[in-house]
Amino acid sequence: MGLHPYDLHVILEGKDVRLSYFVTGEGAPVTLLHGFTQSGSSWREVISKMPAGSMWIVPDLRGHGETRTPPGAPCTLDACTADLEMLWDHLGIERTHLAGYSMGGRLALHVAARRPRRVLSLLTIGAHAGLEEEAREGRRRGDDALAGRIEKDGLEAFVNYWSGLPLFAGLERRGPAFVSRVRAERLSNHVAGLAASLRGMGAGAMEPLWDDLAHAAFPCTFVAGQLDHGYVASARRLAATVPNGRVEVVLRAGHPVHQERPDALARVLASHLAPAAATGASGAAGDDWSPSSTPA
């Protein structure tokens, strides 16, 4: 592709979006998608631990970071998929490796199901492919209520609540300086964007993709933290759904594996991107993985 090492943080103007993203490195394209209340910057620590040979493409998704949309613009998985295709076309990329965490993982699954021709491989962290209808309706109501809470109480009160959820308790092990950095990133978002993201991209808004993913023709790795029990089960179900899937359970980690154990996640990602991943071979063993981290 004629690429050279560089690190750019730029704005790409679209029809109804000012998409903020950064690009760094040279080699095979890898697009990284962040989670709810995060931004693309949440991936920088993992990127810094990866071997050379990849071009990292890291956007701020709608409702987050420096990306901006006009009032009334959709904040949905379909809209974010269109943003990604705009970005890839702008960079001259036909196909990319795709990795995402939580909300970003669900977006990665959506792209893999709806635009498989753009995907070289797929890796998700703490993600699922959609809820059953009854659970989905309950989650939709919960997401809407939480969006209303953000609008009513403001960003700081919401971040205080969100940071205190058991889902993120493992971040405390990184120490107070790291926790403060995560909090600052959450506070860099804005009320309207987070509320719109919950309503348009929350788990309740996501249509189930299990049947579509059964036809995925690229290597897939589904990652979950050992302590994130519900998502360990989701990872196993996903790996059993796709033709070429494997599970990686990262020991001593909860939901945000890329933040709690970036070294371990970098090793999993490097194994996934290595040529061995194309053969369905298992990732390297060691004390970062559970004994069940083998091809599904």
Q: Which residues contact 207 (CB under 8 A, 6 or more apart)?
A: 130
Task: Supply the pLDDT for residue 289.
Answer: 47
**Residues constituting the chain:** 296
Task: Supply the pLDDT for residue 18.
Answer: 93
Q: For residue range 26-37, what is the model confidence (pLDDT) as tens digits? A: 999 999 999 999
Domain residue spans of the chain: 7-129+206-279
Which ranges of the chain have pLDDT less than 70? 1-8, 275-296
pTM: predicted TM-score of the whole model, two decimal places: 0.90
Task: Supply the pLDDT for residue 222.
Answer: 98
Report the CATH architecture of 7-129+206-279.
3-Layer(aba) Sandwich (3.40)
- Round to the nearest angstrom and report the end-to-end CA distance of the chain: 34
Task: Supply the pLDDT for residue 4.
Answer: 39
Task: Supply the pLDDT for residue 1.
Answer: 35
Task: Supply the pLDDT for residue 284.
Answer: 32
CA-to-CA distance for 5 and 54, rounded, in angstroms?
10
Strand-by-strand arrangement of the 27-33 sheet: 7-13, 18-25, 53-59, 27-33, 96-101, 119-125, 220-225, 245-250
Task: Supply the pLDDT for residue 134.
Answer: 80
Task: Supply the pLDDT for residue 11.
Answer: 84
